[in-house]
Amino acid sequence: MPNPDLALHNLATQLRIDSIRATTAAGSGHPTSSMSAADIMATLFFDVMRLDPKQPQSPANDKFVLSKGHAAPVLYSVWAELGLYPREHLLTLRRIDSDLEGHPTPELPFVAVPTGSLGQGLAVGLGMALQARLAGAPYRTYVLMGDGETAEGSVWEAAEVAAFYGVDNLCAIVDVNRLGQSQPTMWQHDMETHQRRWAGFGWNALVVDGHNIAGLRAAFVQAEKAQGRPTVLLARTLKGKGVSFIEDKNGWHGKALKPEEADAAIKELQQAVRPDPAGVKPWPSLPAGANNSAVAPVRAAAPGPSFKPGQQIATREAFGQALAALAPYDLRLVTIDGDVENSTFTQDFQKVSPERFFEGYIAEQNMTGMAMGFATTGRVPFVSTFACFLTRAADFVRLAGLARANVKFVGTHAGISIGEDGASQMGLEDLALFRALAESTVLYPSDGVSAWRAVELAAAQPGLCYIRTGRPKAGLIYANDEPFAIGKAKVLKQSARDRATVVAAGVTLFEALKAYEALQAKGVAIGVVDLFSVRPVDRDTLLAAARAAHNTLITVEDHYAAGGVGDAVSEAVSPAGVRVLRLAVEGMPRSGTPEELLHRYRIDADAIVACVESLPAD
């Protein structure tokens, strides 16, 4: 008669052996962290989860996130057991020519997001679980974390929001193996404290022996039966389980066994394999029911802007209006806001499509992680908050970039032009953050029309996008039918007499146009370029504008000098010998009216005029 507990025990032993062999071959890695999770992984993948091993990316599969990404060897071993690649491939771990990297990446078909920067997986899993609810899909989401990573505040951001949304299709597992990298974890094996903390956040918190297969199976059944709240399995485990000379011993984190040590460890583990008369190989169940988790396509082109001549509108307002206009036409869209929707104007989207609006509350890390989870399921999430607060989620943004996640970030209230709220509210580093990613699109609209077009472009553009918007109302520069494109700038003013060309975006573009008028009155001509696309930057247009103006560009930006418009322009044209003079926010900003601040920090029309007048005469 089949004995599933015995079969899973033997499979977990094989996962431990694989993890040792792979890390020893690599000469580095985390065998002990993989070994503590082996029973959990064997039970989860071969008894609990519903998935098709031949289609690891099927939308119908149950979802899994290995938040403790350093335990990658045990995950790779699972998929070798599932037949995705031969077991010998595990010995290529961490090689430059291998897809089995030190921490999981989406280069592998069974990995949704890169992990290993700890504290991110639960937020991603929450986004996946919310998508299942939104789509009426039956899949469940499982997230495996380490006990050390629960020191990360982002874990508790996700825990609180998950409990608020009552996502009973989300199950977290904490591998409580007691030992961190350098010393024991905060609560070690005090399982009562672990349980009390999670229960205090509203979770169904179950304590289980993480090496007892029967107990794990029963706990997962309880998790699936829970209603109205997420479940966490607090699995008491031992790091290096099954090998006497490393089990539950400090100082072995991230250390591969030497070949002779590995031989001894494997011999000891092989002795733990118990005869299974039935010989039935564990195997996951296929997804149940029809796959109804696919995201509906774009229905049709949405209407464009219809602003009135002379209308004053902030780019943040135009963003909200454009997003709401797209909602009925692009059913992929979801919006997540950080409790500022009445300032970011995502409240407009919320009014027309409340079921696709998710309040992220004041938890920017979790908000970003949720967006990554949505993006893995085919949604196109727009994430919005004040530009300065996105820097709180910088590590999540970094991982979204590594994932090539199709997430659209919108930072509002950018720069010192927000005025009296003061320095803590002024986004002055956001362009640097998003430009620094390996692959990203960064758009910086200046008026209502360009902001509207930026939203349309971002929604259609694959991958991570950032749109920078401002607080002040301003007039319109462009007609409603003006086309925009990613990677293209707009030449607003140009003549054969230009002494220099000013390159600006956002509020400083209006200052550049004021400077143009002031200099015209003095008989001095300048060109003006609306940069719009900060990344990719329009090198050809910038070079042509420079050549038409004595090979001189002046950049002016409501951002710190590092990483912003000036850097983007200089990187594009300086190799061609173009001189770039840069006006940016210098020093520590303070409260004041927008006009006072632009003048004080020398990014207004007066500063532009002075810069032009300081140039050598023709």
Residue positions annotated with a catalytic role: 364
* Residue from 405, 352, 398, 401 nearest 374 by CA: 405
Query: What's the farthest any 2 CA atoms get from each other in the chain?
Result: 97
d(CA 543, CA 617): 21
d(CA 586, CA 315): 24
3-state secondary structure string across 161-213: HHHHHCCCCEEEEEEECCECCCCECCCCCCHHHHHHHHHHCCCEEEEEECCCH
* Residue from 606, 596, 541, 604 nearest 569 by CA: 541
* Residue from 180, 165, 160, 55 nearest 110 by CA: 55
Contact 439, 464 (CB under 8 A): yes
58's tokens = 């099927």
d(CA 192, CA 409): 40
Collapsing DSSP states into helix, strand and coil, what is residue 481? coil
Which sign, positive or negative, has the C-alpha torsion 456, 459, 460, 464?
Answer: positive
* Residue from 571, 558, 568, 562 nearest 608 by CA: 558
Please report, as a single letter, which amino acid is at residue 367: M
User: In whole angstroms, how far apart are CA 333 and each of 317, 360, 371, 377?
Assistant: 18, 16, 11, 12
Angle at 48 between CA 47 and CA 51, to 5 degrees: 95
Question: Exposure pattern of 255-283 as b/e (b: 16+ CB <10 Å)?
Answer: ebbeeebbeebbeebeeeeeeeeeeeebe
d(CA 116, CA 103): 6
